[in-house]
Structure 1
């Protein structure tokens, strides 16, 4: 591992532990300052998403001569998802700039903000359905099942590599499981903020140096 990567994991661990311990020492501080909207943890999450976005578009620029259209397109989509996540996290700058939500979002958004993940459709919160249940299932499949299939089935390996899907190492899997354990010790109702923060940074760091790292490196190509 590079020293910067190690430092990033240490920071993620320290922030997560600070949240867990701080929530028991002073729950008001944890929920009202540390993990609040537009607070310290949220902006670290946004930073991670933007770093992931920049990484994806940088890869497109350096791998364009070497990789096919599907590979580059999937990398572009991942970069857009990172950017979308960053925008959603801060309600597209609405709170920072003091912009009033439209009538639609005031009516259909659980927080009255301009974002999609807090929308309520047919009485169901999108955040709970998509970013809770469905995302949890996808994360479990991605971290626990997909790496196994990649190692055992050649066709799966070919598909994953052609679609530029970064795969976790055992270290990344262990880091995420440790994060889940830490968040379970957080008092109050704001466990998700730490899980989101840590999950974003683990995924971004994994995207930097995944198990199938060679498909993202120019050093693997003849010139």
Structure 2
């Protein structure tokens, strides 16, 4: 049974102060400041320091397949899956086909990524990979993202570009009202996603630096895994903010 929600006053939401609907949407946050601002900053600094100052500790406890980094990735996407599922049951989402399709896509993608990060349970339970699957999976794991770039690099590049553009540029355009107040503006990430998107972009710049500078080393150990964590955090923060937007401004029809 779908959940039903009323207007801001009925739901007890406190509208954000602002001069326009666009500004109110842009200023919605996924939660308290420590969640969307301090947590990403603390994480990136901790990963940088531990990887460079304590490489043995990093290699033993953070980097392995069932280490802190990949387990956190799995946990974040599990939470994102739950949030997306809850959003899909929301009356204002379900009654709008365009928003239902968008949240449904987020749910499917979040579930897929969560499953892939744990190799659908192999990293946790520890079962052996069937021989026929070993022949097509370059990491001998029961997942799809090590089978073809179409299940790994290509979707990753799309998400990375979406985060950099949608997290660093579009929020400011949306806040200014240049994107209007229609469906597109409602789906644009809020300003609170900027810190996490900036970290994703920074890792991309670090990778470009490595490609241009022969002999240079990355600032992060297994930097692609570090970037994935912040990409997943961005997705989670986006979904949380979208849920809170429903209590601030009703989505357009």
Deviation, structure 1 residue 201: 1.3
Confirm whether residue 113 of structure 1 aligns to residue 141 of structure 2.
Answer: yes
CA 1:126–1:179: 2 relative to 1, 3 Å: closer
| Cross-structure match for 1:50 | 78
| Cross-structure match for 1:63 | 91
Alignment equivalent of 1:177, drawn from 183, 193, 198: 198
Alignment equivalent of 2:178, drawn from 142, 148, 152: 152
TM-score, normalised to structure 2, is: 0.68
After TM superposition, list the pairs within 5 Å mapping 1:1-223 onto structure 2. 5-9=32-36, 10-63=38-91, 67-120=95-148, 126-131=151-156, 133-144=157-168, 146-147=170-171, 151-154=177-180, 158-160=182-184, 165=187, 167-178=188-199, 180-181=201-202, 184=206, 186-188=219-221, 190-210=222-242, 214=245, 216-217=246-247, 220=250
Unpaired segments ≥5 residues, structure 2 = 1-27, 207-217
Unpaired segments ≥5 residues, structure 1 = none
How many residues are treated as equivalent by the alignment?
209
Contact kept? 2:129, 2:141, Cα under 8 Å: yes
Deviation, structure 1 residue 64: 5.3
**Cα distance per residue 1:179-222 (max 9 Å; x no partner):** 5437846344x112221112211321132125x954x338749x
CA distance in 1, matches of 2:46, 2:147: 31
Which has the greater radius of gyration?
Answer: 2
CA distance in 2, matches of 1:29, 1:125: 34
**Cα distance per residue 1:73-120 (max 9 Å; x no partner):** 321221121111110111000121122223343112121111111114
Compare relative contact order (CA 8 Å, sep 6+) and give the higher one, 1 or 2: 2
CA distance in 1, matches of 2:96, 2:65: 41
Contact kept? 1:19, 1:186, Cα under 8 Å: no
CA 1:3–1:134: 2 relative to 1, 3 Å: closer
CA 1:129–1:2: 2 relative to 1, 3 Å: closer
Deviation, structure 1 residue 147: 4.2
Contact kept? 1:21, 1:186, Cα under 8 Å: no
TM-score, normalised to structure 1, is: 0.76
Deviation, structure 1 residue 69: 2.8
CA distance in 1, matches of 2:118, 2:226: 16
Tell me the secondary structure at the aligned position of residue 209 of structure 1. Answer: helix
Q: Which has the higher helix share?
A: 1
Deviation, structure 1 residue 174: 3.5
CA 1:25–1:107: 2 relative to 1, 3 Å: same
Q: What RMSD over aligned residues (CA atoms) do the two structures have, in Å?
A: 3.3
Deviation, structure 1 residue 2: 7.3
